[in-house]
Amino acid sequence: MIELNLENSTLEEAKEEDLNNLLEKIHTRKQGFYYTIDDDQVIEKINRFAKENSDFEHIVICGIGGSALGAICLQQSLGHLYMNKLHVLDNVDPVMIKELEEVIDYSKTLFIVITKSGGTIETLSQYNYFSNKIKENGYELSDHMVVITGPQQNPLRDEAEKEDLTIFDIPEDVGGRFSVLTVVGLLPAKLIGIDIEKLIKGAKEMRDVFLNPESKDNLPYQLAKTQFDLSQKGKVMNVLMPYSQKLVKFADWFRQLLAESVGKDGKGITPINSLGVTDQHSQLQLYNDGPNDKLYIFIEIKDLRPEITIDSPYKTTFGELMQIEKNATEASLTKSGRPNITILVDSVTEETLGQLFLLFEGATAFLGELMGINAFDQPGVELSKNLTKKALLK
């Protein structure tokens, strides 16, 4: 199980909240991110679809925001760093589309179109473009495209039904940034060979911790309380710094989760994604000697394998070197009076990644209640979407 080390948080003894009260407030939000992971029928449908569609050489996701970041994180964390068949179009930059078409073979490519609302402009534009391309190349659309969308009728669902495409439902009570452990993340994960049962197992283990009313045992609460109390003392930015190349995209996923959840009503904590040891050489000067307005959250991997020996200039291994550098960074920030905490993970596996997802989702739910806001809506994003649609209709 994941561990949480708060000794360098610089916080004095803080008032404990009534966890039963906080949990009850979260329950009244009627959000399913912590119980839809019990839906075994969805897992069975995903496994069946993946078995029937195992021959594709390329998997392309058309989606943006929460429809994309989870899958990107899963691939980076659990796949091979330099060999992969998953391509994620999380932008409408024409260069991305052109260069994707230069590397895929339409006959060997499956497109996964993801939008909960079914009306996301960027995703519908990609759907229209690639569905036409598949047909122009002489292939059946239903053989090369699958749709993941909300359960209610919407423009994408209407199109998918007309074209007889396979459709997977996103649970109504799970928002995009909390959807990585639904079919949104699980279907792409299964198609690239990730053990999704182990991923869910880890998530369920952390869910038990999240629902524990004892603060000393509730890691999501402890993380949220630290974030909240330090934000009240002017630490209004959170730097997530995993010491693992595998988890660099986890920091990207965290950035959306925190920003969209707590940035509202004039309140918020600004997320910053960072990477150890890389960003010791690009950001550490600011962190140690700039404004003291940040909480630093390290993710430390206990078992950094494989053991690759360095003979010179120092006799060590690359894993030991990474650990030494993390310790030095932690010590330097602590000496400079910069609050920092460490999340300790045995190794990067399906099970521990599932735990990490639920740790941060649970912490974000607690953080919303501590800040007195709804962590599950996104009025600022909706405003931008509406303005975009209005401009397109002119």
Catalytic residues, by residue number, are 260, 281, 385
Distance CA 90, CA 101 (A): 15
Distance CA 338, CA 317 (A): 29
Distance CA 175, CA 29 (A): 12
- Those residues with Cβ within 8 angstroms of residue 359's Cβ, 6 or more apart along the chain or in another chain: 2, 206, 209, 210, 219, 220, 223, 343
Structure tokens at 278: 């890389």
Coil, strand or helix: which one is 238? strand
Residue found under tokens 């009260």: 21
Coil, strand or helix: which one is 231? helix
Tell me which residue of 146, 171, 172 sits closest to 159, measured CA to CA. 146
DSSP structural state of residue 344: E
Please answer whether residues 331 and 285 qualify as being in contact, where contact means their C-beta atoms are separated by less than 8 angstroms: no
Distance CA 358, CA 362 (A): 6
Distance CA 357, CA 12 (A): 28
Tell me which residue of 200, 228, 180 sits closest to 22, measured CA to CA. 228
Distance CA 73, CA 185 (A): 9
Tell me which residue of 23, 52, 102, 359 sits closest to 207, measured CA to CA. 359
DSSP structural state of residue 178: G
| Neighbouring-strand partners of residue 271 | 238
Structure tokens at 91: 């932008």
Please answer whether residues 155 and 128 qualify as being in contact, where contact means their C-beta atoms are separated by less than 8 angstroms: no
| Neighbouring-strand partners of residue 344 | 3, 300
Structure tokens at 15: 């008032």
- Give the number of other CB atoms < 10 A from CB of residue 389: 11
> Within 13 Å of residue 225, how many CA atoms lie on the same side as its CB?
19
- Give the number of other CB atoms < 10 A from CB of residue 360: 24
